[in-house]
Amino acid sequence: MDGEYVDALVATAPDGIAFDDLHVAHNGGGYTFQTPNVDHSGIDEETLRTVAAESPHVRNWYFWHATAPQKADRWAFLRWLEDAEQRDVAERYDALADGIAATWGELHLSVTLSDGERTYSIRHRADADVGTSALAAHDDPLDAREIAKHDDDGGYRPLKTAPSLQTGWTFPELSASEFVTTVDAFYPATVANWHREREGELDVTHWRDTVDRQTGIYGVVKTWDRGDGYEHVNWVAEACCDDSQCLKRREWQYDEETDLDVDGGSGEFPCREPCSLVIAGARQWTKIEGETSQTYEFELTPSEKEQIEDIIDAVADGEADDIREADIYEGANRYRTRFLRAKLFDDEGNLGGVETEQ
């Protein structure tokens, strides 16, 4: 590669180079070569080659213009990883020698520099400190699609940006292009949308517009908006778009003029429209919310009321499986819940013996 990056510099010099504090030009008086620590004017090609071969700025320029993906969003993503807009080349190369790391959703990303070459790696952020030999190693970016299909318990993950990515794997040695392809396989379109947002070009489709274009079995969602406010959309966003449920940061609102009242999350990458999972849930909630309210009367002790609240919270927050059998003081404990069912349900499964009226 040594010959390649120097040859490329010499070939490009007549057009002028100005990148990351490297300035190279060629005119009738010879070559000009400038970095923060070097300043040569009127040198010949042989001297230029000697100076260039010794400069990390030249290797850096060659990487970003000949090795790194040239697609704008991928190029910007790699620059972000190195904090290239804030660190100069010397700072970055010192940091790269030890490795620069960042997180992207549940991914732990890192890049290191050895013999002038960058090597990228990806693993689950929970495995950041686990030895590489203890993890299943992969080198094909498309393997990420299979890894992303299931959680640690083998359950299917319908939402790829849910915080349930399985652990125990690593992509230890990736090229720049393979690296971004792997990230995109784990979290499709997140890099592209992140870049669009940075450039002020993120096209957001709000709830109202998304609902209006639904057809077929999902067309029923249109009937949920009855001109009586948007509280129901707040409920949807709170249920589906919280950081505990999705790693994207919700940017869509009720409509262009009306923001929702619930927080959109703190994810690094934006969500530009209600996803298919949100619309599928909304279809079911539309039907449920269309039912006529009924009044039911049950007798509960104060502790039983609190226990029902604990059970709903535990299920909603995905914590039910974490409550051990011995945690008998937890309201959502399995034995306490079974006791409540034995006491309050009749043989037909009706709470308090009260049948559900349709």
- pLDDT higher than 70, residue 244: yes
DSSP annotation of 324 reads -
pLDDT the model gives residue 170: 98
- 3-class SS at 17? strand
- pLDDT higher than 70, residue 1: no
Mean pLDDT (whole number) for 81-95: 95
Nearby residues of 117 by Cβ (< 8 Å), 6 or more positions away: 1
In percent, how much of the chain has pLDDT > 70? 99
Question: Tens digit of pLDDT for each residue in 254-275?
Answer: 999 999 999 999 999 999 999 9
pLDDT the model gives residue 204: 97
Give the model's confidence band at 222: pLDDT under 50 very low, under 70 low, under 90 confident, else very high.
Answer: confident
Question: Tens digit of pLDDT for each residue in 22-35?
Answer: 999 998 889 999 99
259, HSE (Cβ side, Cα atoms, 13 Å) = 6
- Of 231, 323, 327, 218, the C-alpha closest to 276 is 218
Give the model's confidence band at 231: pLDDT under 50 very low, under 70 low, under 90 confident, else very high.
Answer: very high
Mean pLDDT (whole number) for 138-160: 96
pLDDT the model gives residue 2: 58
Classify strands 270-271 and 249-250 as parallel, antiparallel or unpaired.
parallel
Higher pLDDT, 292 or 6: 6
What is this structure's pTM? 0.88
Nearby residues of 145 by Cβ (< 8 Å), 6 or more positions away: 185
